Amino acid sequence: MTYIICEPCIGTMDRGCVDVCPVDCIYEGEDMLYIHPEECIDCGACEPECPVNAIYPEEDVPDEWKEFIKKNYEYFEGGVERQVARGKGG
C-alpha cells in the first residue's frame, strides 16, 4: 500500500506534505508531487497537512482521480530522474 497524490496538488505544490514525511519519500515532479510507492510507510502524516486534500491512501482515492494512482506509480518507473523535494523553498 501507499499514499497517492491527486489532481488538487497540480498548481498548488506548497510542499506541506514534504515537511512532515518521516522517510522523505515525496518527490517533486514537473507539475505536482508524487509519493514513492515502495518508500512510503503508510504513516498517514501527510494526509491532514495538505491544504487542498490531494492525498489519499491508495484504496481510498476517489473514482474521478483513479488515474493518479497509475500516474504516481509510473513516475517512478523507467529510471525517471527524480528531484527530491525536501523542505520549503528547497
Q: Compare residues 53 and 70 and give the one whose CB is closer to ligand SF4.
A: 53
Q: How many whole angstroms separate alpha carbon 38 and alpha carbon 77?
A: 11
Contacts of 51 (CB under 8 A, 6+ apart): 12, 14, 16
Choose the stretch contacting ligand SF4; rule: CB under 6 A; options: 35-43, 58-66, 69-77: 35-43
- The reply on whether position 43 binds ligand SF4 by CB under 6 A is yes
**Can you tell me which of 17, 56, 68, 72 binds ligand SF4, judged by CB under 6 A?**
17
- The reply on whether position 40 binds ligand SF4 by CB under 6 A is yes
* Contacts with ligand SF4, residue ranges (CB under 6 A): 3, 5, 9, 12-17, 20-21, 23, 25-26, 33, 35, 40-46, 49-50, 52, 54-55
